[in-house]
Amino acid sequence: MTTARSDEVARMLPRPLRAVVLVLLLVLVLGPVLYVIFASVSPDLSVAAGHFLPSRFEPANYVHIWSTVDLGEGLVNSLIVAGSVAVLCAFVSLLAAYVLVAFAFKGRLLILRGLLALQSVPGTLLLLPVFVLFSSIGSTLGVTVIGTRWALFLTYLTFGLPFSTWVMVTYLRGLPRELDEAARVDGASSWTVLTRIVLPLSWPGLIVSAIFAFLLGWNDVLFASVMTNPETRTAAVTLQVFGATQEGGALPLYGQLMAAALVCAAPVVALYLIFQRYLMSGLTSGGVK
């Protein structure tokens, strides 16, 4: 099948044209990345002058950002919030998806349609309602919600669970039904089937759900800028504030800004590199004899 697909691609695009297309794609993708990398080790004057390659290397930019930008606290806040949301989203979505796939009950189809409908609601429309809701809860209970990590955690969990649940529903539907039926014949309960059979085979789907939820919390600026204070700012907000303070300056700290951007992107890149093998399907192949 792979050979047939290669032959089909070869008929559509001749070899020289394919080489040109691949080179253009690499330039479009790697060009901005290389520019940020080179700018992060360049003097500010070199970046301001528009030089692609650094006139001299300034690796000290990666040292100065920890005091200039106060990036450490932002990274810790982002890791705590995004990491906890990712873990909880993955396992709650697994439980919800298993119920929606394995059992037939009234309202099941409505719930599935609702999960899809929630994806069409722009998050910007919910910013004010969520803020007012958390403020009202804080005033009623006499506790502080706005400005805490809990506010971000609940917000991202609300937005991440519908998509994560739908991802897991789609994944669990692809698992062989014979595995569940064989376990039922052996007297296994629903909990045993979930923990002993479904969970070990669901790691690719769980990783996808967790990564989506993690990126939702890691990259968000809109809700994090409203729900946090200087002590609970995430890395994205810290980076945005640092970039805003450089506007209009005599010589913005371009090198440190690019270095801070790369440091903020590093955890996401590491996440993909570590879990990329789980993103590939096929763990269930051969599960049914």
Question: In this structure, is the dihedral angle defined by the CA atoms of residues 66, 68, 73 and 75, taken in order, positive or negative?
Answer: negative
- What is the rounded radius of gyration, in angstroms, for the C-alpha atoms of the chain? 24
Helix (H, G, I), strand (E, B) or coil at 130: helix
pTM over 0.85? The answer is no
Selected residue with higher pLDDT from 23 and 16: 23
Q: C-alpha angle with apex 141: 137 to 145, nearest 5 degrees?
A: 50
What are 187-230's pLDDT values in tens digits? 778 888 888 888 888 888 888 889 889 998 898 888 888 888 88
- At what angle are helices 71-102 and 254-275 packed, to 10 degrees? 30
Of 220, 235, 202, 99, the C-alpha closest to 157 is 220
The rounded distance, in Å, linking the Cα atoms of 42 and 48 is 10
Question: 93 near 167, Cβ under 8 Å?
Answer: yes
Q: What is the 3-state secondary structure (H, E, C) of 203-225?
A: HHHHHHHHHHHHHHHHHCCHHHH
Residue ranges of domains in the chain, CATH in brackets: 2-60 (no CATH), 63-279 (1.10.3720.10)
Burial 11-22 (b: 16+ CB within 10 A, else e): eeeeeeeeeeee
Terminal Cα-to-Cα distance of the chain (whole angstroms): 23
Distances (CA, A) of 64 to 47, 184, 246, 260: 17, 61, 15, 10
pLDDT at 169 over 70: yes
Amino acid 289: pLDDT: 41
Question: Can you give the pLDDT at residue 87?
Answer: 92
Question: How many Cα atoms sit within 13 Å of 170 on the Cβ side?
Answer: 14
pLDDT digits (tens, 9 = 90+) for 96-106: 998 888 888 78
Of the candidate ranges 117-131, 146-160, 229-243, the one whose mean pLDDT is the lowest: 117-131
Say how far apart CA 138 and CA 151 lie, in whole Å: 10
User: Residue 286's pLDDT is what?
Assistant: 38
What span, in angstroms and rounded, lies between the C-alpha atoms of 77 and 60? 24
Query: What's the confidence (pLDDT) of residue 197?
Result: 84
Per-residue pLDDT tens over the stretch 243-254: 887 766 666 788
pLDDT of residue 287: 42
Cβ distance 260 to 65 under 8 Å? yes
Alpha-carbon span 188 to 247, nearest angstrom: 63
Confidence of residue 282 (pLDDT cuts 50, 70, 90): very low
CB-based contact 229:102 (threshold 8 Å): no
In Å, what is the CA distance from 87 to each residue of 80, 214, 259, 281? Answer: 11, 9, 29, 20
- The stretch 6-10 carries a mean pLDDT of 56
Is there a contact between 207 and 279 (Cβ–Cβ < 8 Å)? yes
Take residue 197 and report the two structure tokens written for it. 């059979």
